[in-house]
Amino acid sequence: MRTYYLRSFGCQMNEHDAERLRHLLEAEGLAPVGEPEAADVLVYNTCTVRESADERLAGHLSGAARLKREDPGRVVLVTGCLPQAEGAAFFERFPFVDGILGPQNVHRLPELLEAAVARTAPVGLAFVEDGPHMSGELPGRRRRPFQAWVQVMSGCTNFCSYCIVPYVRGPERSRRPEAIAAEVRDLVAEGVREVTLLGQNVNAYG
C-alpha cells in the first residue's frame, strides 16, 4: 500500500483543510505515516499569512528536496495559501515540487495526485475558483474524536492594505445555514463535544 505524510502549517482553517486532504488521500488508497522518510507522497499544507509558518515550511521543504533526490519516484505536493499567492513562480523557488494546489481547490487533490504521479510536468492548480466549492462541504478525517472544525464561510472582500487573505482565499462566500446545522448534528451524533465555527471573516457571515 502506498503511504502519505501530511504536515500542515498556520491557522485553524488550514487544520480544517488538512482534515479534508487526509480524507481524500485515504480515499485514494494511501495510508498515513508519521515520518516523511517513510512516505511515498509528501503533502505540505501551507500558510502565507503568518511569517513563522513560512519560515518553518522552508526547513521542511529542504528536507523534502533531499528525500526527492534519494528517491525520484517520491511525490511532493504543496497545498494552501503560499502556492495560491505565488502561482507558477512557486516552481522557480522549489523546482523539485511535483504539484501545487490552492485552498479553493482542495476537492481537486485526487486529480493533482494522478497528474503528479504521471510525471508529465509540474502541475499547478493554484487559483481561486469563483464557484460552489468550499472545503467545508467535503468529509474530513479528524485527529480528535471529541473536537471538530466546522467551516461556515470562506474568503474576504475587505481588501485591507496589510492583508493578503482576499487574494489567496477569494471573495466572501457563506455556507447555507441548513448545511451547517446538519453537519453539527452529525458531529454530535458521532460523539463530538467541542465545535469551532471557522471562516476568514465570520462577522460577515450571511
Provide the whole-model pTM: 0.88
Residue 164: predicted pLDDT = 87
What average pLDDT does range 123-144 have in this prediction? 68
Say whether 175 sits in a helix, a strand or coil. Answer: coil
CA 202 – CA 192 distance, rounded (Å): 22
CA 37 – CA 68 distance, rounded (Å): 10
DSSP H or E run through 184: helix 177-189
Torsion of CA 153, 156, 162, 168, to 10 degrees: 80
Which fold, 3-125?
Rossmann fold (3.40.50)
Read out DSSP for 30-72? -EE-SSGGG-SEEEEEE-SS-HHHHHHHHHHHHHHHHHHHH-T
Q: Could you tell me the three cell numbers for 14?
A: 488550514
**CA distance to 90, 92, 159, per residue, from 98 (Å):** 11, 12, 31
Share of the chain above pLDDT 70, in %: 91
CA 105 – CA 128 distance, rounded (Å): 8
Residue 110: predicted pLDDT = 92
**Top-confidence residue, 57 or 76:** 76
Q: Among the listed ranges 29-33, 45-49, 186-190, which one has the minimum average pLDDT value?
A: 45-49
What average pLDDT does range 106-126 have in this prediction? 78
What average pLDDT does range 44-73 have in this prediction? 84
Is 50 exceeded by the pLDDT of residue 171?
yes
Could you tell me the residue ranges of all domains in the chain? 3-125, 135-204
CATH architecture of structural domain 135-204: 2-Layer Sandwich (3.30)
